[in-house]
Chains A and B, each alone.
Chain A
């Protein structure tokens, strides 16, 4: 005899509206369902109605936390179509902003994970140490989030040399504070009890579900776009990919914590090696053609496909964010765990629904996958229903 427990749609633990139903027997979760679609904003169609220059600013707003990742991916796709190369200085500046974003995204996750397991102190610490990163981003790009930093051919503005010493100092302090956090988290018996051996995703499952980013690397799958298909300045600096074999919540957390240390190293090396020169190559037009861009966002591989028909607007702009592949791995993870761990296991992939909600419809038993015509029909029915009920 199983009971259904609803979580959401506006749950204080989960920042975004989503609806999870857990089937439980006693305290044990036997199955879980996730209902998405509340943040579907019609991003892909909007992208087709804007020019290439405007598109970069639109895709930034897919997700506030990985705004640099999405805009870089879109510009890579545009440069792929037009065959444009980027000046060296711009490559380094792009890499610096992208790694700063990884720092603040991972630190945000560490804070939220602490909040979920009931450690308000970890939340406060994590978010306190995150502030200097946002200040650094503001010093470089002019805004704390939504940087508007990338544009086809390079970056939007140049920065003077005197802003770098405070940022290097902030990175040193950040690495020191992260080491402190790692030390605290790995030696606290209560945190270990909550994280170790909870929500295990085996390597086989990780490959079968096609998970990406820290979720995959926490399960022992050694993938990272930054190394495998290098872009930006990643092949010119010294860093390593963090992989943990265990696949539980602790392993994913450790991957994120150690990645922050690596990110500070990348930033410092990039600042040291930063070449002088142009920051932007002029782009006269985007010719007819197709292009892709993919990079390693903080949550995994982010992928954009753009088809151009020779006008100043894209004919098709397909975006795929990493959470789209990471969410289904919730099911094998949560099976057999207790209800109290369910939200933590859900948060371990660092879900980002605003990234994910392009469009997908699957029946609850998994038997039917809808095609484009079905989706349009469903959408009409839903609109009719909403009109009647509003």
Chain B
């Protein structure tokens, strides 16, 4: 078992970072926590501090102003850690890719391990992505 696999063996703690999203992906991420989907049964938990997290969920089209913050946040993520891009904006830029303030998508600035497309992706898709990613690590 290599170090990365060992690092992700236990419960995954997730930090959610809104890099210029429209709230939709963010409320769907929070929806994963609510009793209907209840992601905590897989040991996953949304944490308040980046220093406690294993996974960084990034949503949003990354406007220019957020770029330094996003890079700084990624540097604070304890390693081994993975980044998941949530939503069409985070994956490709979506409808905002022609905007003058668009500096993304997310993978232009930080390495991304998994992409969850959709506007917004359903909670099932987000849970599915995390589970698939865990199998691949």
On whether A16 and B96 interact (CB within 8 A), knowing A40-B101, A61-B119, the answer reads no
- Is A352 in contact with B101, judged by CB distance below 8 angstroms? no
On whether A64 and B27 interact (CB within 8 A), knowing A38-B65, A40-B65, A131-B34, the answer reads yes
Q: Kindly state whether residue B105 has any CB partner on chain A within 8 Å.
A: no
Contacts of A289 in B (CB 8 A): none
Between B22, B31, B101, B122, the greatest number of chain A beta carbons within 10 A of the residue's beta carbon is seen for B22
Contacts of B122 in A (CB 8 A): 144
Count, chain B residues at interface, CB 8 A: 44
Q: Kindly state whether residue B8 has any CB partner on chain A within 8 Å.
A: no
Nearest residue, chain A, Cβ from B62: A41
- Is A64 in contact with B23, judged by CB distance below 8 angstroms? yes
Contacts of A39 in B (CB 8 A): 18, 20-21, 60, 63, 66
On whether A40 and B67 interact (CB within 8 A), knowing A16-B18, A145-B24, A352-B23, the answer reads no
Q: Kindly state whether residue A17 has any CB partner on chain B within 8 Å.
A: yes
Which of B18, B24, B30 contacts A127, CB < 8 Å? B30
On whether A354 and B21 interact (CB within 8 A), knowing A39-B60, A42-B101, A128-B36, the answer reads yes
Chain B 55-89: CB-based contact to A (< 8 A → 1; otherwise 0)? 00000110111111100010000000000000000
- Report the bound CA distance from A285 to B89 in whole Å: 31
Q: Kindly state whether residue B19 has any CB partner on chain A within 8 Å.
A: yes
Of A25-33, A269-277, A382-390, the segment with at least 4 beta carbons within 8 Å of chain B is A382-390
- Report the bound CA distance from A160 to B131 in whole Å: 37
Instruction: Output the least CB separation between A173 and chain B (Å).
Output: 14
- Is B24 in contact with A383, judged by CB distance below 8 angstroms? no
Nearest residue, chain A, Cβ from B69: A9
Q: Kindly state whether residue B7 has any CB partner on chain A within 8 Å.
A: no
On whether A12 and B18 interact (CB within 8 A), knowing A17-B66, A64-B23, A64-B27, the answer reads no
On whether A45 and B99 interact (CB within 8 A), knowing A124-B34, A144-B122, A386-B67, the answer reads yes
Instruction: Output the least CB separation between B55 and chain A (Å).
Output: 15
- Is B24 in contact with A38, judged by CB distance below 8 angstroms? no
Q: Kindly state whether residue B43 has any CB partner on chain A within 8 Å.
A: no
Contacts of B111 in A (CB 8 A): none
Which of B21, B64, B98 contacts A383, CB < 8 Å? B64
Count, chain A residues at interface, CB 8 A: 40
On whether A15 and B23 interact (CB within 8 A), knowing A10-B17, A46-B96, the answer reads yes
Chain A 125-150: CB-based contact to B (< 8 A → 1; otherwise 0)? 00110110000000000001110000
- Report the bound CA distance from A145 to B27 in whole Å: 10
On whether A386 and B64 interact (CB within 8 A), knowing A10-B17, A41-B20, the answer reads yes
Q: Kindly state whether residue A58 has any CB partner on chain B within 8 Å.
A: yes
Which of A10, A128, A131, A382 contacts B18, CB < 8 Å? A10
Nearest residue, chain B, Cβ from A145: B24
- Is B34 in contact with A128, judged by CB distance below 8 angstroms? yes
- Is B100 in contact with A42, judged by CB distance below 8 angstroms? yes
- Report the bound CA distance from A64 to B61 in whole Å: 14
- Report the bound CA distance from A389 to B71 in whole Å: 12
Chain A 34-51: CB-based contact to B (< 8 A → 1; otherwise 0)? 000111111101100100
Q: Kindly state whether residue A93 has any CB partner on chain B within 8 Å.
A: no
Contacts of B126 in A (CB 8 A): none
- Report the bound CA distance from A57 to B36 in whole Å: 29
Which of A17, A144, A146, A382 contacts B69, CB < 8 Å? A17
Nearest residue, chain B, Cβ from A36: B65
- Is A64 in contact with B22, judged by CB distance below 8 angstroms? yes
Q: Kindly state whether residue B25 has any CB partner on chain A within 8 Å.
A: yes
Contacts of A67 in B (CB 8 A): 22, 24
Contacts of A58 in B (CB 8 A): 95
Q: Kindly state whether residue B135 has any CB partner on chain A within 8 Å.
A: no
Contacts of B26 in A (CB 8 A): 15-16, 64
Other than the known A127-B31, A144-B28, what 11 A-B pairs have Cβ atoms closer than 8 Å?
A: A39-B20, A40-B63, A41-B63, A42-B101, A42-B102, A61-B24, A64-B23, A124-B34, A127-B34, A354-B20, A354-B21
A–B pairs, 9, beta carbons within 8 Å: A12-B47, A12-B48, A16-B23, A38-B20, A38-B65, A41-B99, A64-B23, A127-B30, A146-B119
